Amino acid sequence: MARINQLYCPPGGIFDETVWHLGNALLPALERPQEIGPLYAQQLMLAVNTYFAQAFGSLTLAKDKIRTLAPWQLRRATEAMTSLSDDDLSLKVLASHCGLSVSYFVRAFKSTTGDSPHRWILRHRTECSKAMLAHGGATFVEIAIGCGFAGQSHFTRIFKSFVGVTPAAWRRSVKS
C-alpha cells in the first residue's frame, strides 16, 4: 500500500457511517477475544487502515482485477491454517508462506476461496466437527475443543451460522 503522509478531516469532525460499522465489527473481538482469534482482528484492522487511507488520505487503489492464489499458495496457506495454533497464526505468517504482502494475500485468498482467512478457518472447523458429530459419541464440549473452538457456546453459534441448525439438531438428523 502506498504511504500516506497526512490524513484530512474537516474541522469539527464528521460522522462516518463506515467507521461506525467497522468499530461495531470490532466489538466482538473486544468482548470475547478468546472466540474471535487474531486473524479476525488483523483483517478488520487492515480494512480500517485501508478505509482511512482512501477516505481521509486521498489514496486511490488500482482497479486491476484481483488475482487469485496459485494452487501451491492456496495449499500452503490452508495447510498452515489447519496446522498452526491460533497463537502462532497471523496474516503476516500466512502471507509469508505464499511470498505475498498481507494486503495482497487477503484479497487473493478471498478471491480464490470466496471466504476471508478467518471465515475459511471457521468453515473448516465446522466441517471437522460434522465428522465428529456423525461418527462418535464425543460430547459437544469435547468436539468444540477438539475442533479449535473457544468453547461449547462459541461452537454452537458458529455451527448454526454455517449449517443453519444447532449441533444437537444436526446430530439427531444424521443419526435418524
Cell 495454533 found at: 85
Answer yes or no: CATH 1.10.10.60 is held by domain 120-175: yes
Residue 6's Cβ-side half-sphere holds a number of Cα atoms within 13 Å equal to: 2
Give the pLDDT of residue 42. Answer: 82
Give the pLDDT of residue 24. Answer: 83
* Sign, CA torsion 128/129/134/139: positive
115 closest CA partner among 13, 39, 20, 15:
39
Distance CA 53, CA 57 (A): 4
The 8-class DSSP code of residue 81 comes to H
Rg (CA), the chain: 19
The residues, ordered by sequence, that sit 6+ positions from 34 with a Cβ below 8 Å of its Cβ are: 150, 151, 154
Give the pLDDT of residue 72. Answer: 93
Give the pLDDT of residue 61. Answer: 63
All residue ranges of the chain with pLDDT < 70 are 1-2, 60-66
Give the pLDDT of residue 62. Answer: 61
**Beta carbons within 10 angstroms of residue 175's beta carbon:** 8
Give the pLDDT of residue 66. Answer: 66
